[in-house]
Structure 1
Amino acid sequence: MRRIALVTLVVGDYDEAIGFYTGALGFRLVEDTPRPDGSRWVVVRAGADGPGTDLLLARARGGSQRARVGDQTGGRVGFFLHTDDFARDHARMLAAGVTFLEEPRHEPYGTVAVFQDLYGNRWDLLQPAG
């Protein structure tokens, strides 16, 4: 079996990113390990243990990486957070201060709304149809 295990998300600060992903989005901190070079290996997970894809929160180093924070996909939705209860998660995220860029809409593929993370990266909150 093969799968994508981690996707790197370049962030401005480890602790503020951990706070947003675990607090506002309800992710779970899986690992936060200091590295000899002063960086940290920070992994968060959206759901329970299982065959999902975790996020590696990597603090930007240097000007070119700092310029990509919040714009890793050129303004497109780059991340897709699936849920089994759109209304529950949408309400919880709104209460936590998450910025949604549109009202929820019903599409043939499911219920969806675009939101942004604390850096401006665009995400879909999506409850797939069926």
Structure 2
Amino acid sequence: MNQRLSLVSVVVADYDEAIAFFTRALNFELCEDTPLGGGKRWVVVRPRGNPGSGLLLARADGPAQTARIGDQTGGRVFLFLETDDFERDHARMMAAGVRFVGPRRHEAYGVVAVFEDLCGNRWDLIQPSGRC
């Protein structure tokens, strides 16, 4: 049996604001934006050139979900954006206004820096060292 992780939901306040952030600041592509009725939409974004996993941007519905916007993991790094050129992507993201919460670090597993998405969820931008 073949399985793969296809989508991860990210709770957002507004679809269009989230689409703008992910497509402009992170250079993701908008793969799908389908109205579901009642103001809901099925919105999928992915890193460019990556036919694999993506994000389902899910607008918060109700106070419990609204309270989780930007804090889906209690302040820990939530997602890991892998790159083949850390310097290029770090510079592009900085120019686009992405907020990095610390300096880049050289770790045994690669070059990494923590950034926040538009909601405050923490991500790692990482160029792996090539070790498995």
1: CA distance between counterparts of 2:94 and 2:53? Answer: 24
How far apart, CA to CA, are the structure 1 residues paired with 2:60 and 2:114? 24
Q: Report the AA paired with residue 97 of structure 1.
A: G
Counterpart-to-counterpart distance in 1, 2:128 and 2:113: 12
What CA distance in whole angstroms lies between the structure 1 residues aligned with 2:41 and 2:47? 19
CA displacement at 1:47 relative to structure 2: 3.1
How far has the Cα of 1:46 moved from its partner? 1.1
2:15 is equivalent to residue 17 of structure 1 = no
- Counting only pairs closer than 5 Å after superposition, residues 1-130 of structure 1 correspond to structure 2 as 1-50=2-51, 52-130=52-130
* Paired AA for residue 104 in structure 2: P
Deviation at 1:36, TM superposition (A): 2.1
Gaps of 5+ in 1: none
User: Unpaired segments of 5 or more residues in structure 2?
Assistant: none
Counterpart amino acid of 2:93?
Answer: M
Cα separation, 1, equivalents of 2:104 and 2:11: 27
Runs (4+) of structure 1 exceeding 4 A deviation are none
Matched to 1:76, the amino acid is R
TM-score of the aligned structures, taking structure 2 as reference length: 0.95
RMSD over aligned Cα, in angstroms?
Answer: 0.8
